[in-house]
Amino acid sequence: MGARTVVADVADELARRVATGVYAPGDLMPSVRQVAEEFGMNRATAQLVLGRLESHGLVDAHRGRGFTVRDVRRVGGLDVYRRLFRLSMPEPELAAEMFRDIVATERAIVLEALLDYTELESGADTRALHGTVDELESLARAAEPDYALLLEIEIGLVRDLLTELGHSMRRAVLNSVGEMLFEVPEAVRAIFAVSPDMHVLVWRALLAVWESGSGPSEAQLSLFEDLFGMYHEKVVARFDELVGLDAESAGSAAREAV
């Protein structure tokens, strides 16, 4: 095993302890000597490990004191949140809580993009979207759908809408949310808690609305938002199942997140 792999693996283990609360905000991290002794490495390599944690924004370096744990949940950005989500998987309740936040963010961005696209004054140009939805449908009908590829295509569809709308910041957040999901197989599978065919039907329905020229009625919009909400509830429930969170614990976590 190369030194680079050792540094990455040990850094991941220490980061996992930060993510799951073994090391709390403000705690002094193990010293270079302690890290070297625990993981059977020389001090130079241990220093690289702690330096990596600092570069990832998980710890702060203090001259003469060593490294202390940052309150990453309060001050961390999207890159930190992405890393914490991946490392939280050994703790189902924590992973489920973070996934709920991710899904809520994704839902808000996607729903707003779809509605804004519907209201374009110049009318929506759906020609470029048809081929992508056709590809999505072909993949959805496979005997064993490639969920990661399906998700990549769907994110690409929303990214195209955001680009046309000029919503560059929301597009950047969507890209980061996608990266978080792709790193956790359970999250990708949960996104398709409802049959992939349902995703295709939704896109076909949206294309029909955009091409009608008249736009959706208030009743249609209300129904769409309700269906969108129920769909995401199933996504969250499926993730809970995949990480081994029982119904009682899932309900408790959801109430605490409110």
- Of 106-110, 123-127, 234-238, the one with minimum mean pLDDT is 123-127
Residue type, 205: A
Fold annotation for 79-257: Four Helix Bundle (Hemerythrin (Met), subunit A) (1.20.120)
Q: What is the mean pLDDT of the chain?
A: 89
Q: What tokens appear for 175 in the block? A: 């890209």
- For 30, 74, 98, 100, 151, the CA distances from 258, given in Å and listed in that order, are 35, 17, 12, 10, 27
CA distance 131 to 6: 45
Would you give the DSSP letter of residue 126? -
Let me know if 205 is exposed, middle or buried by CB neighbors in 10 A (0-12, 13-18, 19+): middle
**Cβ contact 103:198 at 8 Å:** no
Helix crossing, 247-257 with 218-242: angle to 10°? 130
CB count in 10 Å sphere of residue 254: 16
CA distance 134 to 204: 9
pLDDT band at 122 (very low <50, low <70, confident <90, very high): low
Question: Is the pLDDT assigned to residue 258 strictly greater than 60?
Answer: no
CATH value of 3-75 in 3.30.360.10, 1.10.10.10, 1.10.645.10, 2.60.40.10: 1.10.10.10
DSSP string, 47-60: HHHHHHHHHTTSEE
Number of helices (H), then strands (E), in the chain: 13, 2
Question: Is the pLDDT assigned to residue 4 strictly greater than 60?
Answer: no
168 vs 246, higher pLDDT: 168
Mean pLDDT of 148-166: 95
Q: Domain locations in the chain?
A: 3-75, 79-257
CB count in 10 Å sphere of residue 147: 18
